[in-house]
Structure 1
Amino acid sequence: MDPSAAKEYVTLISNLFTHYQGLNRGSMKVTHLQGHILEFMYSKQKALNLKEISEGLEIAKQQLTHVVSGLEKKGYLIKRPDERDKRAVLVTLTPAGKAIEEQKWRVLYQKFIKSFNQLTEEEQFDFCFALHKVNTLLQKMGG
């Protein structure tokens, strides 16, 4: 294997993360960890128990319980007993939780378009082609 591929991959991750952080800055009215939980819940589009969230985000269940309670107090999540497993609690996004995520993605999209429009037409084409190619190859490589 060409070691430059691994170096470019790590650089890509760093660049994507830095760019995403810039786009995301100021788009949420919750803490960083609360934002991760809301985003995870929004992406799953279903009720999840605390164990599923804990494992999905690799967060200790004890820490998660505290953060979920804070989000519940803000009206973004609802906790209810799991009827299939009486020991478990199911967590669901409220309409307010969905709305805050949708607003975040609208703001991110607008900021991305503004940033993207700073590129020339040829650079925009190259960028789109490169993203498509990287996504296709990553899917082929598996995860």
Structure 2
Amino acid sequence: MPEAEDIAEQIAGLLDGIVRRQRRASREEFGERVTHGQFRVLRTLDGAGAALRLSELAARLGIVPRSATSVVDDLESAGLVARTPDPSDRRATLVDLTPAGRKILSTLREKRRAVMAEELSRLTPEEQQTLAHLLTRLATD
């Protein structure tokens, strides 16, 4: 029977491989237009349901504000997010998705879903449910 460390390493490698395939498929669709980090920002802004201050965006992403600023700069240059002054604090800036940002996020999600559906098609519906259940347990904080 394999050691627990061996199984942990095997599972980590398998999960990494799946994530790499998803990222590669997204890059094939959009070239280098949207990086994984930028996708995370777009997804976080979308999930917030409202514009966020840069500091709040950084906190939700678990990164330092300077890093969030750099990613937002690139996304703003690409027309995917827009900055606006915070009406409640003149020193703060809000960031939100543009219509182009929402569209590319939707397309990226569809592509990611399609790639995962193709991978999951090798499993029975019951195996898919079991996998989703186990991953949910692991992902729960």
Q: Do these two structures clear the TM 0.5 threshold for a shared fold by scoring above it?
A: yes
| Cα pair 2:23 2:36 within 8 Å, conserved | no
TM-score normalized by structure 2? 0.77
Offset at residue 53 of structure 1 (A): 1.0
| Structure 1 stretches lacking a partner, 5+ long | none
**CA distance 1:79–1:116, shift in 2 (3 Å):** same
Q: Secondary structure at the match of 1:59?
A: coil
Q: Any idea what the Cα deviations from partners look like across 1:17-70, whole Å, max 9, x if unmatched?
A: 431221231144223322221222123232111011111112221222122122
Percent identity, aligned pairs only?
26
**CA distance 1:133–1:67, shift in 2 (3 Å):** closer
Q: Partner letter of residue 69 of structure 1? A: D
1:102 and 2:101 equivalent? Answer: no
1:112 and 2:116 equivalent? Answer: yes
Q: How many residues align?
A: 134
Report what 1:130 is aligned to. Answer: 130
| Structure 2 stretches lacking a partner, 5+ long | none
Q: Partner letter of residue 74 of structure 1? A: A
- RMSD of the TM alignment (CA)? 2.5
Q: Which runs of 4 or more aligned residues in structure 1 lie more than 6 Å from their structure 2 counterparts after TM superposition?
A: none
TM-score normalized by structure 1? 0.76
1:34 and 2:33 equivalent? Answer: no
**CA distance 1:16–1:126, shift in 2 (3 Å):** farther
